[in-house]
Amino acid sequence: MDYESVIGLEVHVQLKTKSKMFCACQNKYGSPPNTQVCPVCLGLPGTLPVMNEQAVKMTVLTGMMLGCEISPYSKFDRKNYFYPDMPKNYQISQYDMPLCKSGHIDLVKECYPKDAQNQVSAAKRIGITRIHLEEDVAKSFHLETTSSIDFNRAGTPLMEIVSEPDINTPEEAFAYLSTLRQILLYGKVSDADMEKGQMRCDCNISVRPVGQKEFGTKLEIKNMNTISGVRRALAYEIQRQTGCLKKGENLTQETRRWDEAAGQTFGMRSKEMAHDYRYFPEPDLMPVDTAVFMNEVKSWLPELPAAKKQRFMSDYRLTDYNAGVLVADLELANFFEVGAAPGKNPNAVANWVVNDLLRDLSESKLAIAQSPIKPLDIAELVEFCESGKISSRQAKDVFVEMFKTGKMPHRIIEEKGLSQVSDAAALETWCDEAIAANPQSVEAYKSGKTTALNHLKGQVMKLSKGKANPKTVDGILIKKLSA
Ligand code: ADP
Ligand code: MG
Ligand code: ZN
């Protein structure tokens, strides 16, 4: 019997507001432990929360970017539980009236793992069930003999984005998370850096015999913090669950944890022990009327990656590949557009950026913002090539120098005396010299060995110290040899 898997993801995303969700503390990553705190986010008794409107707006913007319905009326609820990371014994969250509902994400081919992209055939849409807003909790550290806790994270605005169980493979889960991350970055709602815990993911997964309508038993892998880890954990879990079912064993609902080093998941707790959170409306906060700021948030809507890609292909005639690579990173896309604007050949600008610049940046571990080459420098380089002032071979050398020194192309061309010679008189002399000095090649060419022309051309290039325009040389040689 064949089995198939069903996957739904719950993604937590920290919003990059200036202050925390319900107090005025700074929302800032990387401060010394317990320095960005106040009685509210420490959960001391007698304090009152004040809603961060910016966080609500950013959540609504995220909903709009993901095609959600925005609830006109929304409220906060208390989710009650006892744990040291939340000393007031409840987390302010949203239960039955989340800010956003029923959206979707269209998986982008470039967002699948590199080694799986050629297997992607059909477009796939993953439903978003809901997006709600809550407060992040403190972070505990379990050391060898003690435990400690840092409240800087407590009260950070946290969106939870819940998907429908529409994902069927680890590769789709990977693509879903990468596509989502791109959109979050475009909207500037979060830096979504998984290493910093700004984006975290719980994976729900079940397997069932192909053809069965009902879902199998759902297991949850908690707190994944890399996208490639999600792919590996899911692949492992699918194999494990399928193996159990094939042996006739029953699976029970449980929460598991992924151990990256071991490459395995381990059971943490069974769902029979699941909490009853006794949700009830938060009495200290007013409900939210989203209509008040809908127009403002609409005006924040960015051009999304998919739309930008289409525009790059139609306006600049970029290849599908170049456009895909450029829009994957908003800063890179912007860099390209600055360079492409003044030029007559935007595809050439795209080729330099996608092939040469990205390679050199990654080799020197630089971000696009730190690029020694600026967009207009690339535009200038393309102009020099187009006008035949330098050859494409010379352009490669100029580019190397540009990356090394940050100098503009015209300065490098001037300093190195690089400009290509198209001056007919000089070229004719070099061609004559080459022909005179290489009678064998001339003989060979005349007896039909057309490749002999390359040898002659090489001689001309040598005589010109690489400055001759190879195309013009070709023409002159052919003319002289057939005379
Ligand atoms: P819970 O209340 O246990 O958190 P939910 O119904 O809210 O469960 O679903 C949480 C996530 O699990 C959602 O992303 C949903 O799509 C996914 N999910 C639900 N049922 C299944 C299933 N049988 N297999 C895989 N994923 C599932
Ligand atoms: Mg859950
Ligand atoms: Zn605070």
Ligand 1, residues 204, 213, 238, 253: which to mutate, most atoms within 8 A of Cβ?
Answer: 204
Q: Give the pLDDT of residue 272.
A: 59
Q: Are residues 329 and 440 in the same domain?
A: no
How far does residue 44's CA lie from ligand 3's centre (Å)?
Answer: 10
CA–CA distance from 172 to each of 132, 321, 354, 382, 430 (Å)? 23, 20, 25, 38, 60
Q: Are residues 318 and 363 in the same domain?
A: yes
Give the DSSP H/E element, type plus range, for residue 13: strand 3-14
Q: Give the pLDDT of residue 342.
A: 66
How far does residue 181's CA lie from ligand 2's centre (Å)?
Answer: 20
For residue 389, is it within any domain? yes
Give the DSSP H/E element, type plus range, for residue 403: helix 392-405
Q: Where are the alpha helices (DSSP H) in 66-118?
A: none
**Spatial separation of the C-alpha atoms in residues 381 and 368, rounded to whole Å:** 18
Q: Are residues 65 and 108 in the same domain?
A: yes
CA–CA distance from 217 to each of 6, 222, 232, 437, 451 (Å)? 10, 16, 20, 83, 69
SS3 467: coil
The burial class, CB within 10 Å (0-12 / 13-18 / 19+), for 44 is: exposed
Hey, what are 178's tokens? 């990468």
Q: Are residues 430 and 358 in the same domain?
A: no
What residues contact residue 470 under an 8 Å CB cut-off, 6+ apart?
A: 391, 457, 461
Closest atom of ligand 1 relative to the 205 alpha carbon: 25
How far does residue 34's CA lie from ligand 3's centre (Å)?
Answer: 10
CA–CA distance from 351 to each of 111, 261, 333, 345, 387 (Å)? 20, 39, 13, 10, 17
How far does residue 204's CA lie from ligand 2's centre (Å)?
Answer: 8
Q: Give the pLDDT of residue 273.
A: 58
Q: Give the pLDDT of residue 386.
A: 83
Place of tokens 């003690």: 146
Ligand 1 neighbours by CB, cut-off 6 Å? 6-10, 162-165, 204-206, 215, 218
Number of domains in the chain: 3
**Spatial separation of the C-alpha atoms in residues 240 and 47, rounded to whole Å:** 48
**Is 157:177 a contact under the CB 8 Å cutoff?**
no
What residues contact residue 437 under an 8 Å CB cut-off, 6+ apart?
A: 459
Q: Are residues 283 and 381 in the same domain?
A: no
The burial class, CB within 10 Å (0-12 / 13-18 / 19+), for 81 is: middle
Closest atom of ligand 1 relative to the 220 alpha carbon: 12
For residue 166, is it within any domain? yes
How far does residue 39's CA lie from ligand 3's centre (Å)?
Answer: 6
**Spatial separation of the C-alpha atoms in residues 80 and 94, rounded to whole Å:** 12
Q: Are residues 290 and 346 in the same domain?
A: no
Q: Are residues 412 and 470 in the same domain?
A: no
Instruction: Return the closest-CA partner of residue 475 out of 427, 437, 441, 443.
Output: 427
Q: Give the pLDDT of residue 357.
A: 95
Closest atom of ligand 1 relative to the 204 alpha carbon: 26
Q: Give the pLDDT of residue 155.
A: 97
Question: Could you read off the pLDDT tens digit of each residue along the chain, which spans 483 residues?
Answer: 799 999 999 999 999 999 999 999 999 988 999 999 999 999 999 999 999 999 999 999 999 999 999 999 999 999 998 888 888 999 999 999 999 999 999 998 889 999 989 888 889 999 999 999 999 999 999 888 999 999 999 999 999 999 999 999 999 999 999 999 999 999 999 999 999 999 999 999 999 999 999 999 999 999 999 999 999 999 999 999 999 888 988 888 889 999 999 999 998 877 655 678 999 999 999 999 999 999 999 999 999 999 999 999 999 999 999 999 999 999 999 999 999 876 678 999 999 999 999 999 999 999 999 999 999 999 999 988 888 788 888 889 899 999 999 999 988 888 877 666 666 777 888 888 899 999 999 989 888 888 888 899 888 888 887 777 777 888 888 888 887
Question: Of 371, 394, 416, which residue is a domain's last?
Answer: 416
What residues contact residue 158 under an 8 Å CB cut-off, 6+ apart?
A: 12, 13, 14, 15, 21, 133, 134, 135, 136
Q: Give the pLDDT of residue 189.
A: 98
Place of tokens 């290509």: 420
Which domain covers residue 354, as residue numbers?
Answer: 305-416
Q: Are residues 82 and 177 in the same domain?
A: yes
Q: Are residues 128 and 94 in the same domain?
A: yes
What residues contact residue 385 under an 8 Å CB cut-off, 6+ apart?
A: 348, 391, 392, 395
Q: Are residues 87 and 192 in the same domain?
A: yes
Hey, what are 384's tokens? 């020099």
Q: Are residues 317 and 444 in the same domain?
A: no
Q: Are residues 209 and 352 in the same domain?
A: no
The most distant pair of C-alpha atoms in the chain lies apart, rounded to whole Å, by 101
Hey, what are 216's tokens? 């199998």
